């Protein structure tokens, strides 16, 4: 049981509209979203800063950043939802799904630009900064708008991971589970 019970339908109109907008047809709103709905102000702010719209990074690059961030922070809930909804869509194979959780940032299953993203996530999660040795390849592969988006994604999904873990949200029944090491 989560520490705060998720809201149940019927939702206030603004929250209902947002849930309809972000959830695939026929899929129940995520436990995370329904729990955030308990505080309309937090719900609104989290949704307005979600970074799930089309941005400077490709969908695959964005998902690699999100998946690595949530995996490094031990947030199986959010990682599993993203793997379930996006891994196939962005062409992540079983090796990459495992490597995003357990592998080094310079693993052979990643392209050079993907390795730069993974190393950036690792630096930010581990040291809350980006080392010069990480910055150089990052700046080689990505422009300023992409780098800013990468850092913002890591920070946003750090917050999401805190929410999921702090609230002890139960895993979605369709969400992927962390692979064995």
- Alpha carbons 66 and 73: distance in angstroms, whole number: 11
pLDDT of residue 46: 87
**What's this model's pTM, rounded to 2 decimal places?**
0.93
Q: What is the pLDDT of residues 29-48, one digit of tens each?
A: 999 999 999 999 999 888 87
Instruction: For the beta carbon of residue 145, count every other beta carbon within 10 angstroms.
Output: 11
pLDDT for residue 149 is more than 90: yes
The predicted structure's pLDDT at residue 24: 87
DSSP symbol at 1: -
Q: Distance of alpha carbon 77 from its chain centroid, rounded?
A: 10
What is the mean predicted confidence (pLDDT) over 133-157? 97
When pLDDT is averaged across residues 49-70 and rounded to a whole number, the result is: 88
At CA 78, angle to CA 84 and CA 104, rounded to 5? 85
Helix/strand/coil for 40: helix
Two tokens, residue 55: 């941005």
What domains does the chain contain, in order, with CATH numbers?
13-48 (no CATH), 59-166 (1.20.1290.10)
**Residue 9: per-residue pLDDT:** 93
4/36 Cα distance (integer angstroms) = 9
DSSP string across 90-147 = TT--HHHHHHHHHS-TT-TTS-HHHHHHHHHHHHHHHHSS--HHHHHHHHHH--HHHH
Q: CB-based burial of residue 135 (10 Å sphere; 0-12 exposed, 13-18 middle, 19+ buried)?
A: middle
Distance CA 40, CA 61 (A): 30
Is residue 63 classed as helix, strand or coil in its secondary structure?
A: helix
Joined tokens for residue 65: 């950043």
């Amino acid at each position: 049981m989560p520490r705060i019970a998720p809201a149940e339908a019927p939702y206030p109109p603004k929250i209902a509209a947002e849930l309809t907008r972000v959830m695939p047809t026929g899929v129940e709103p995520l436990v995370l979203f329904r729990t955030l709905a308990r505080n309309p102000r937090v719900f609104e702010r989290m949704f307005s800063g979600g970074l799930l719209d089309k941005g400077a990074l490709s969908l695959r690059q964005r998902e690699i950043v999100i998946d690595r961030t949530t995996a490094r922070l031990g947030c199986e809930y959010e990682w599993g939802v993203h793997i379930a909804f996006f891994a196939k869509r962005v062409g992540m194979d079983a090796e990459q799904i495992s490597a995003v959780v357990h592998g080094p940032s310079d693993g052979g299953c990643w392209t050079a630009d993907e390795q730069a993203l993974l190393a950036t996530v690792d630096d930010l999660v581990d040291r809350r900064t980006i080392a010069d040795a990480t910055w150089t390849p990052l700046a080689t592969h990505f422009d300023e708008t992409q780098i800013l988006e990468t850092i913002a994604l890591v920070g946003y999904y750090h917050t999401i991971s805190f929410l999921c873990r702090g609230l002890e949200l139960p895993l979605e029944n369709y969400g992927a589970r962390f692979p064995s090491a």
